[in-house]
Amino acid sequence: MNAREAIEEILMGAERFKNEPPPDMSEAGPELHPLARFVDFDGSARPPRWVIPGFIGQGVVVVAGAHGAGKTTTMLPLALVAAGLHGDELMPHQWRHVVYIAEDVEQARRILAGLVRFSNLGVDLERVRERLHLVAAVRLDPAFVAQVGTTYREQFTRTVNGVEVLPLVVLDTKSAVLAQENENDNSEASAMMAALKQGFAGLPVWLIGHVAKANLSRSDVSGLSSRGASAIEGDANQTLFLVREGDARYLVLGKTRFEPRWPELEITSHTATELASDEFGNLETVVMRWGIAAPAEMSRKEAAEQAAERQRKEDDATLRQDIPDAVELALQAGNPLNREGVKAKIRRDRNAVSGCIENLLSERWLHEVFVPAKERTNPKRAAFLVNLSTAEHEAVVGGGGLPPGKLAIPESWRKPSIPPALGPKPEPESEE
């Protein structure tokens, strides 16, 4: 029976139940029906049940990232945080077992080897072997996948002070574990999510997949979505997105049902290499790569302000180069530019261009050549700009002058010279 058939059978049972007389609940109590188990409310608020305190709660959590964004290298080390093996600020009060179903088991082994042998996190091998349970992914019907939840619950649940600490189950990736005929079908997606929630019966589940659009950043959280039907995110308890911004990576919260301590975690990448023998005994260099998630050193607002300031400085530096280049090219072409000409040439904010011209003039990287009124071809062509080379700039700053060639008014900017007027032809002298 697949997930859709399982849901349809539940609905058919509910339809039959409507046509039957209500059962006598006086003796058996409300436990006869799952939806008749009423929850008491004593007026107090309880904190969420955390997997990663302040960031990831229990339930089915969808994690999406672009191809090559480093989903496994990020989420496997984060799962070890849930297992209480490292984490600093993210460390849970009580560790839990982790069942990690991996699409690429060998990649998972390399990540674990890097963490245990080459990180400075103090990850103990024996504790990893005790708390992490690695499984090779097999693509199966979602309803059948969910049946293993009972095994995980019975085998790996811990009880601490009378409280059950349930195992975390990671499905990496969705497409490698859950067989779907059409991942864009909302009905099929809802059946899949229902099977996970009901079959795993309260176990925290991380469902790792791909984003629909890979070119969005952490500032576009509202536009981020996982690949496939919208019901996957709609039915999830929480969504997370792994995004890149330049060389940095972030695990960003999407949908949540609680107020998080942090809206995102920054991922720091690490690598190590060693020589190892392949199956034929040949030595080969093995690269181990892993990413460690931690709260960012600055808030998103501060990071955005810093990025904006960095972009402003880059734009200013580009403008300071673009203006002299435009001035020099125009002068070499024999048709120099004045201030208005530069503004028309440079496709930037006119006030920014104006301010940059003034700065370059005051710093003596530009010089303004004035055209005498009697020589102007147009009243608007009162002065033009020339660009100074480094040597010319140093000479001017040192009190020297510019070469005459830089001060010459080109033909295009001055009136043509008028030859002297010819007077009346003199009369021949008398022979007398």
The string of pLDDT tens digits covering residues 153-163 is 999 999 999 99
- How far is residue 240 from each of residues 57, 112, 219, measured CA to CA in Å? 11, 23, 13
**pLDDT mean over 379-383:** 88
Q: Given pLDDT bands bounded at 50, 70 and 90, which one contains residue 341?
A: very high
Structure confidence at residue 19 (pLDDT): 44
Q: Given pLDDT bands bounded at 50, 70 and 90, which one contains residue 329?
A: very high
* DSSP 8-state symbol, 69: S
Count CA atoms closer than 13 A to 348's CA, side-chain side.
Answer: 17
- Average pLDDT taken over every residue of the chain: 86
d(CA 115, CA 112): 5
Q: Tokens representing 84?
A: 């209480």
Please tell me the least confidently modeled range out of 24-33, 104-113, 269-278, 315-324. Answer: 24-33
Q: How many CB atoms lie within 10 A of CB 89?
A: 14
The tens digit of pLDDT for each residue in 34-53 reads 788 888 888 998 889 999 99
Structure confidence at residue 10 (pLDDT): 40
Please tell me the least confidently modeled range out of 22-31, 140-149, 233-242, 333-342. Answer: 22-31
Structure confidence at residue 410 (pLDDT): 87
Can you give the three-state secondary structure of 337-393, one letter per residue?
CCHHHHHHHCCCCHHHHHHHHHHHHHCCCEEEEECCHHHECCCCCCEEEEECCHHHH
Is the pLDDT higher at 282 or at 431?
Answer: 282
Residues 6 or more apart whose Cβ sits within 8 Å of residue 230 = 186, 189
Closest among 99, 101, 90, 100 to 51, alpha carbons compared: 90
Q: Given pLDDT bands bounded at 50, 70 and 90, which one contains residue 16?
A: very low
Q: Is the pTM of this model over 0.85?
A: no
Structure confidence at residue 419 (pLDDT): 62
Q: How many CB atoms lie within 10 A of CB 336?
A: 23
- CB–CB of 112/131 below 8 Å? no
Please tell me the least confidently modeled range out of 122-126, 154-158, 186-190, 286-290. Answer: 186-190
The tens digit of pLDDT for each residue in 176-231 reads 999 988 888 899 999 999 999 888 888 999 999 988 776 666 666 666 678 778 88
Phi first, then psi, for residue 236 (nearest 5°) are: -75, 155
pLDDT at 25 over 50: no
383 forms beta bridges with 370
The proportion of the chain whose per-residue pLDDT surpasses 90, expressed as a percent, equals 57
d(CA 66, CA 212): 8
Structure confidence at residue 21 (pLDDT): 47
- CB–CB of 32/172 below 8 Å? no
Structure confidence at residue 420 (pLDDT): 59
